[in-house]
Amino acid sequence: KAIERLDYAPPAFWIDSVDLTFDLDPAKTRVLNKMQVRRNSAAAPQALRLLGQELNLARVLVNGAGTSFKIEGDELVLENLPEGDAPFALEIFTTCAPAKNTQLSGLYVSQGTFFTQCEAEGFRRITYFLDRPDVMASYQVLLRASKADYPVLLSNGNLVESGELDDGRHFARWQDPHKKPSYLFALVAGKLVAREQQITSRAGNKHLLQVWVRPGDLGKTEHAMNSLMASIAWDEARFGLTLDLERFMIVATSDFNMGAMENKGLNIFNTKYVLASEATATDTDFANIESVVGHEYFHNWTGNRVTCRDWFQLSLKEGLTVFRDQEFSQDMAGSPSARAVKRIEDVRVLRTAQFPEDAGPMAHPVRPDSYVEINNFYTVTIYEKGAEVVRMQHRLVGREGFARGMKLYFERHDGQAVTCDDFAQAIADANPASPLALHLEQFKRWYSQAGTPHVKAVGQYDADAGRYTLTLSQSCAATPGQPNKLPFVIPVALGLLDAQGKALPLQLDGEATAGSTERTVVLTEESLTLGFVNVTSQPVPSLLRGFSAPVVLDHDYSDTELLTLLAHDGDAFNRWEAGQRLMLRIAINAIADSTITEGANGQIDQNLLPDALVQAMRAVLRHPQLDAAFKELVLTLPSESYIAEQLTQVDPQRVHAVREALRLQLALSLQADWAWAWDEHQASGAYRPDATSSGRRALAGLALAMLCLAARATGDEVWPGKTYQRFKIAANMTDRFNALSALVMSGHELAQPALARFHALFKDDALVLDKWFALQAGSTDRGGNVLPAVKALLKHPDFHIKNPNRARSVIFSYCSANPGAFHRRDAAGYVFWAERVLELDALNPQVAARLARALDRWSKLAEPYRTAAREAIARVAAKADLSNDVREVVTRALAD
Ligand code: ARG
Ligand code: ZN
């Protein structure tokens, strides 16, 4: 059943135009689809095979007359079509049942409003079609529905006509001025209201921007609208890309499988990435909204104007668009240190989510070679690693060179459906002398080879010769189907510090003079040796600055060297990284050390961090110049899943116990400093979600969490009391939620009244309730109390498994984000997981398959977890009528 990349063949027919008429009815929607079709003269004459799923077919006409046809599985096969290349009219009439569509793919109803989701293969659930991205057509859409129930009727492009019909019905006709693949089709119909904004572009064109939401949510749309305007301005300024539509609409729905969708001119969003007010959304929510609004808007060029030839090329649009949204967020953040904070956050996602994917059973290249279900390939590899591959190209050709490359890409491919090769070729061709152009074929191994490469760095200092020799060598472990890897092109940005932490000017053997203190070397062979001269004292290398490539850097740093980097590195990323390495090292050693034992309560009552490291952390926390946001990142320990990835065999309870012990030690030994940090970072004045103020709130929040943790150990009641007080009177959701979370995570008895109060306050706000559920399902396990609590939450009147946000807030928060509570010696967490995967699969395979991935890394687990996890996966796999989605995930997992 697998689809292979190399089997790609151009379509046998083109569809030039589509004229769709919808009679919208939740139980039975009628769809009349009139197409202009012609044979692709480049393909051998053959039958037309249109795809359709869960449709009732009523009529097929060719040039107005009946025709013979047959149905083969999901295909409508037409064999007796006119010969020759001339276009013919094909008319297909079907019905579907949107109210019964719990998959949320195709046309569905959410809270009485119609929405569509067509990427990747949802359009075939609306009508029979050549539902593949290389078939691009002009769309005209007529929507008809009850005016009282569906007063607003939206589709892609421009509204060309609207009016009344008999029986209380009305209509709207939309025309999209741009050709598009079917996955970008959208319609929305329901009771919605819009925030509107007229803008004039630099070029002098007028545009109407709209953010459509349910009545009552209008007050929460300002930030999304501001983010949209900022996105439009940014794409013009940075890439010269302007809005190509008179009208650009965003619509929010609370039932959505993913974050958002870039349908041409009619983006459809999960409410989570649209609605925000200071009372209901956290700083993180505000930042995510800016980034997702940007992401979908940037797709208008990278994805829509130039789209993918086939779904193996998904990263062509997703990797590039994630790179663009990351750059947008950095540019919006402003200061160099705020940019570094964003970079660290992005790398943290890559390393905690993508590195494990790349090392597990679902590992796949950025451009996969094969898939069973394309929805399973909307992954951190396609998105985030894909963005890193674009970022490396950016580094290899420079900022200006990259802008030139983008320009050439659009000159060559505007209006086309193309491949990842086409993109890299354009960037390289616009920069013929760049290392990218020089090594293009080899560079493209980043698209074809899965797995995270390791770069080993070995330094040797010869004091007499004043020479520092640095050898970099690369390797990459096998991944499923790829036993041997060829060398990658790896840009390594680096600098050297002296023992006092001063940056040294870099001079390579053979160079006449010393240059700047940082440079990027490009590793193309298995190994590369660099000789730095005029090095007057033993240097500390600062390697892979800014995380210049998505690799694991192995270097045998001494603790002293890492402390030097933590205190002095001019590269903020590596400064943070040095602290993470120090803490990771302690964690890994402690995990392996059998003399460090857990008490009956599962806790380790022992100090694990050496004094020097505690001092260094204090120095960062108290540093007069560093940004609060940066401090918060440095003082946050590596996550349990990141620690687990460093181990060959994982006992999740051991990892949890060690990390908790480290956290407790940081809480207790820095108590006075946390109290200082809390006082020092209180906000005054109006709420603003900018990088500086949100960084201050983040650090204050961490301080409060640490103070409550310390209070739990010491029996102190002052800080929990203060925290509860803050929880009650907080002026914004960030402060309120941080306080609530500090009480819940420290297991204080005030957590219960706080949770009850929070629920009472926000019971009518679905997005806030999601936070309430997620906090409890993600809370610290004490004697196995979380699983019973999660089971109780599933019975809560506000729990609805059909709503993906709510399902994620409880089930995913427990199974995927709470390893200390999920991995139980009695296997009850895994049993729960298997039950939920099967329950969800019957409703929504895409969401079920995401959950199925929570046990991807089962083969790394120590006993008894390993056997129990495998059994749970096998139990899911044993079900006869699984979706393709879940089937693919569990089959691959069992093969690991
Ligand atoms: N293209 C969308 C985005 O990244 C994601 C859509 C994913 N949809 C899906 N069914 N897998 O912006
Ligand atoms: Zn995207």
The verdict on whether 888 is a catalytic residue reads no
pLDDT of residue 684: 85
pLDDT of residue 201: 86
ipTM: 0.98
Residue 622, helix vs strand vs coil: helix
Catalytic residue among 296, 318, 327, 577: 296
The C-alpha atoms of residue 472 and residue 523 are separated, in whole angstroms, by 8
Give residue ranges with CB within 6 A of ligand 1: 119-120, 257-258, 260-262, 295-296, 318, 375, 378, 846
Q: Going edge to edge, which strands form the sheet with 75-78?
A: 48-51, 75-78, 70-72
What one-character DSSP code corresponds to residue 12? Answer: S
pLDDT of residue 115: 99
HSE-up of residue 307 (Cα within 13 Å, Cβ side): 26
Alpha-helix residue ranges (DSSP H) falling in 681-812: 691-714, 718-729, 733-745, 751-762, 766-777, 786-794, 804-807
pLDDT of residue 766: 98
pLDDT of residue 536: 94
Residue in 255, 258, 289 to alter for ligand 1 test, most ligand atoms within 8 A of Cβ: 258
**By the 8 A CB rule, do 62 and 803 touch?**
no
**By the 8 A CB rule, do 366 and 389 touch?**
yes
The C-alpha atoms of residue 272 and residue 253 are separated, in whole angstroms, by 9
What one-character DSSP code corresponds to residue 382? Answer: I
Query: Of 285, 273, 281, 297, which is closest to residue 199 (Cα–Cα)?
Result: 297
Which amino acid is it at 694?
S
| Per-position DSSP letters for 207-257, written without gaps between them | EEEEEEE-TT-GGG-HHHHHHHHHHHHHHHHHH------SEEEEEEES--S
Q: What angle (nearest 5°) sits at the alpha carbon of residue 752, between those of residues 782 and 774? A: 70
Query: Of 12, 140, 184, 133, which is closest to residue 416 (Cα–Cα)?
Result: 133
Give residue 587 CA to ligand 1 midpoint distance, Å.
37
pLDDT of residue 202: 84
Query: Of 219, 30, 7, which is closest to residue 143 (Cα–Cα)?
Result: 30
For tokens 């200071």, name the residue. 278
Give residue 325 CA to ligand 2 midpoint distance, Å.
10
The token duo for 359 is 């090392």
Mean pLDDT, 10 residues at a time, the chain of 896 residues:
97 98 98 98 97 98 98 98 96 98 98 99 99 98 98 98 98 98 99 98 92 98 98 97 98 98 99 98 98 99 98 99 98 96 98 98 98 98 99 98 98 98 99 98 98 98 98 97 98 97 97 96 98 97 98 98 98 98 98 96 95 98 98 98 97 98 98 98 94 97 98 97 98 98 98 98 98 98 96 98 98 98 98 98 98 98 98 98 98 97
Residue whose CA is at the smallest distance from ligand 1 atom 12: 261
Residue whose CA is at the smallest distance from ligand 1 atom 1: 261
For tokens 């309870």, name the residue. 653
HSE-up of residue 225 (Cα within 13 Å, Cβ side): 18
In b/e form, how buried is each residue of 679-711, taking b as 16+ CB within 10 angstroms? eebebeeebebebebbbbbbbbbbbbbbbbbbb
pLDDT of residue 338: 97
The C-alpha atoms of residue 867 and residue 865 are separated, in whole angstroms, by 6
> Could you identify the atom of ligand 1 that is nearest to the CA of residue 303?
1
> Could you identify the atom of ligand 1 that is nearest to the CA of residue 261?
2
Residue whose CA is at the smallest distance from ligand 1 atom 5: 261
Torsion of CA 380, 385, 387, 391, to 10 degrees: 160
HSE-up of residue 363 (Cα within 13 Å, Cβ side): 22
Q: What would the pLDDT profile of 304-321 be if each residue is shown by its tens digit?
A: 999 999 999 999 999 999
**pTM metric for this prediction:** 0.99
Element (H, E) at 875: helix 865-877
Query: Of 476, 46, 104, 448, which is closest to residue 270 (Cα–Cα)?
Result: 104
pLDDT of residue 203: 81
